[in-house]
Amino acid sequence: MHLRQRSDIRASEITPEAVYRQRRNVIKMLGLGAAGLVAGCGSENAPSAAAEAPAAEPKALSVTRKGEYTLTDPPTSYKDATHYNNFYEFGTDKGDPARNSGRFRPTPWSVEIAGHAEVTGKYTLEDLLRPHALEERIYRHRCVEGWSMVIPWNGISLADLLKRFKPTAQAKYVAFTTVNRPSEMPGLRDAVLDWPYREGLRIDEAMHPLAFLATGLYGRELPNQNGAPLRLIVPWKYGFKGIKSIVKIEFVEVMPRTTWNIAAPREYGFYSNVNPDVDHPRWSQRTERRIAGDGLNLFGNRIGTRPFNGYADQVAGLYAGMDLRKYF
Ligand SMILES: Nc1nc2c(c(=O)[nH]1)N[C@H]1C(S)=C(S)[C@@H](COP(=O)(O)O)O[C@H]1N2
Ligand SMILES: [Mo]
């Protein structure tokens, strides 16, 4: 995505989606059901001959708490949220993560908690999650490339998890690392990024009540392509901060190095707060293509991008007094 010259509305990207939606409309008009869809290969991404068998339908989750963070924006379809992805460990095209992640094994899973905290160690995912009730949170999701979605995530508050480990005063930042499994992640063969994928937050950002760790979406476990079994969601920041398939969380004193910042420091800052006033050096961030609804918006709805992705009331105070053009 970011390394290749492309604007968000390239014809080659739009056309397959438009064709797909058009085909779906025709199928609906003709009153054909699922069988017609299968026969017509109804997907944005033409299936390649090498496509693997699709992973089993993700298990339903027992979501016990309705989150307080919900939206009235129409949600993105499950199909789009799970077939239009960025997860470069499985390839750089939007359809690659769904197509190439069938061999990835998210169970068993463990996460190492390290650094400046009173409690550290390696925990199974079950142990990490046990004390927490799963919530649903419907968040806006804005990719730095210029598209956005509205996704009902399931998971837990990041702050609630981090507090259990009692970070010390030296914990100024939190660093996250994605699993590195070349045998299950074919994209790791290409040195498009400095693997493993890494991200970070300032400790007060990580402790903000909006910061979330997702284990599912739409009431089901995360499909591999969305970052199974555990990924970060920071809804006021560009999507690349939302690191997937996390195996390490470390409390650190110095601002950690982050993957996209290493790849192109002029284009991707550490903060990466959604900001329509600060253009990406190669494109404007004023508007976004909202991928939502079903069938009606052939080319997606183009809407204005809002400061902090619409969460300014909640998070602007974290950056009081900072020059957001300098700290982009
Ligand atoms: N490990 C890892 N995490 C990642 C990425 C990636 O390539 N590798 N892509 C990021 C980007 S650019 C975005 S927009 C979101 C996409 O999340 P989604 O596919 O669930 O919408 O994941 C982020 N997390
Ligand atoms: Mo992104």
User: In this predicted structure, what is the pLDDT of residue 226?
Assistant: 98
Residues with CB under 6 A from ligand 1: 85-89, 141, 143, 178, 197, 226-227, 239-240, 242-245
- Closest ligand 1 atom to residue 1 Cα is 12
Residue 296: pLDDT band (50, 70, 90) is: low
Report DSSP state, residue 197: P
- Closest ligand 1 atom to residue 226 Cα is 20
Instruction: Tell me the per-residue pLDDT of 22-45, one tens digit each, with 9 for 90 and over.
Output: 333 332 322 333 332 222 222 333
Burial level of 249, CB count in 10 A (0-12/13-18/19+)?
buried
Global pTM value: 0.85
Lowest-confidence pick of 65-79, 150-164, 218-232: 65-79
Distance 142 CA to ligand 2 centre (A): 7
Question: Any idea what the Cα angle at residue 293 is, between residues 147 and 54, rounded to 5°?
Answer: 80
In 109-206, DSSP assigns E strands to 110-115, 121-124, 135-142, 147-157, 173-178, 198-202
In angstroms, the CA 311 to CA 234 distance is 10
- Identify the nearest ligand to the CA of 145 by its number: 2
Contact 284, 275 (CB under 8 A): no
Residue nearest to atom 8 of ligand 1 (CA): 87
In angstroms, the CA 101 to CA 184 distance is 7
User: In this predicted structure, what is the pLDDT of residue 71?
Assistant: 84
Instruction: Tell me the per-residue pLDDT of 93-116, one tens digit each, with 9 for 90 and over.
Output: 999 999 999 999 999 999 999 999
CATH class held by domain 6-319: alpha beta
134 closest CA partner among 112, 113, 157, 111: 157
Tell me which H or E stretch contains 212.
strand 212-217
Mutate to test the pocket of ligand 1, among 6, 86, 141, 234 (most ligand atoms within 8 A of CB): 86
Instruction: Tell me the per-residue pLDDT of 163-175, one tens digit each, with 9 for 90 and over.
Output: 999 999 999 999 9
- Identify the nearest ligand to the CA of 198 by its number: 1
Tell me which H or E stretch contains 160.
helix 158-163
Residue of 70 and 113 predicted with greater confidence: 113
CA 86 centroid distance within chain: 8
What does the mean pLDDT of the chain come to? 85
Beta strands 287-290 and 198-202: pairing type? unpaired
DSSP count for the chain of H helices, then E strands: 9, 13
Mutate to test the pocket of ligand 1, among 240, 272, 290 (most ligand atoms within 8 A of CB): 240
Distance 44 CA to ligand 1 centre (A): 18
User: In this predicted structure, what is the pLDDT of residue 62?
Assistant: 84
In angstroms, the CA 321 to CA 98 distance is 42
Contact 232, 242 (CB under 8 A): yes
Contact 212, 139 (CB under 8 A): yes
Residue type present at position 99: R
